[in-house]
């Protein structure tokens, strides 16, 4: 899946109170590419990620996933697209307190159409891959912060997404854990030939990007 953004505009409010958060963004990301998005607070990074994930509609422009304009799909079609093709990782792990680690992943797989056995097998494979095979039956309160975020990463990969969106996934982690998390995300993007976009302010992580995009005043620059 390729990702192409054309003349993307997002305006909040109307009339004199209108604020242009995104001002005609244009860029393209190829499969296997891991892109880091940076910019000052309030520059529109999270707004952009939310639009790319189909959770927010742009005021103008296109988001083309494999040539199909995601913004023109119905609400139901966007929901189905998210379930099948898009993974999200957030600053907080958002694990459900009443589900065991394996069940956190299985819930996503089954929602995406996997059978219980298929979801269980994939969950075990992913968790073992990230070093949590011994925590399958642990509840979130039994995990460290780093372990919770690793579960959240593999939960995002459960539906085998072709587009992964990560919004400050390392903000609550120390330097070593932050580095480990980004290495895992980049490796998964490469191995799955997916598209990865991550928002972060942590300059120590910039070197892991295949490419950097900078948002400044609602406009995009590359370095």
Q: Phi and psi dihedrals of 7, rounded to 5?
A: 50, 50
User: Pairing mode, if any, of strands 211-216 and 219-222?
Assistant: antiparallel
| CA dihedral for 115, 118, 124, 126, sign (positive or negative) | negative
Tokens 């390392």 identify what position?
170
Cα separation, 8 vs 220, whole angstroms: 11
**Which domains, and CATH codes, for the chain?**
3-96+163-222 (3.40.50.300)
Q: Is the pLDDT of residue 42 over 80?
A: no
pLDDT tens sequence across 80-103: 888 888 888 887 788 999 999 999
As beta bridge partners, residue 3 has: 29, 65
Question: What are the residues whose beta carbons fall under 8 Å from the beta carbon of 72, sequence distance 6 or more?
Answer: none
pLDDT tens track for 162-197: 999 999 888 777 788 788 888 888 988 998 899 999
What pLDDT shows up at residue 160? 85
At 98-148, the pLDDT tens digits run 999 999 999 999 988 899 999 999 999 999 988 899 999 999 999 988 889
Q: Are 66 and 10 in contact (CB under 8 A)?
A: no
């Amino acid at each position: 899946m390729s990702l192409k953004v054309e003349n993307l505009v997002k305006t909040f409010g109307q009339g004199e109170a209108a604020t242009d958060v995104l001002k005609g963004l244009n860029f393209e990301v190829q499969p296997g590419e891991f892109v880091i998005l940076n910019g000052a607070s309030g520059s529109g990074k999270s707004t952009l990620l939310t639009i790319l994930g189909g959770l927010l509609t742009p005021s103008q422009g296109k988001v083309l996933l494999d040539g199909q304009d995601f913004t023109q799909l119905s609400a139901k079609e966007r929901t189905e697209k998210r379930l099948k093709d898009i993974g999200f990782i957030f600053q907080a792990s958002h694990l459900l307190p009443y589900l065991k680690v394996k069940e956190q992943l299985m819930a996503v797989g089954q929602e995406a159409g996997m059978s219980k056995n298929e979801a269980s097998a994939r969950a075990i494979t992913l968790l073992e891959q990230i070093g949590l095979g011994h925590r399958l039956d642990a509840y979130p309160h039994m995990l460290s912060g780093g372990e919770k975020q690793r579960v959240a990463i593999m939960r995002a990969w459960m539906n085998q997404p072709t587009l992964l969106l990560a919004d400050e996934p390392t903000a609550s982690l120390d330097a070593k854990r932050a580095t480990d998390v980004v290495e895992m995300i980049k490796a998964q993007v490469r191995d799955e030939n997916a598209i990865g976009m991550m928002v972060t302010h942590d300059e120590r992580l910039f070197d892991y990007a295949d490419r950097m995009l900078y948002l400044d005043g609602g406009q995009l620059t590359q370095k």
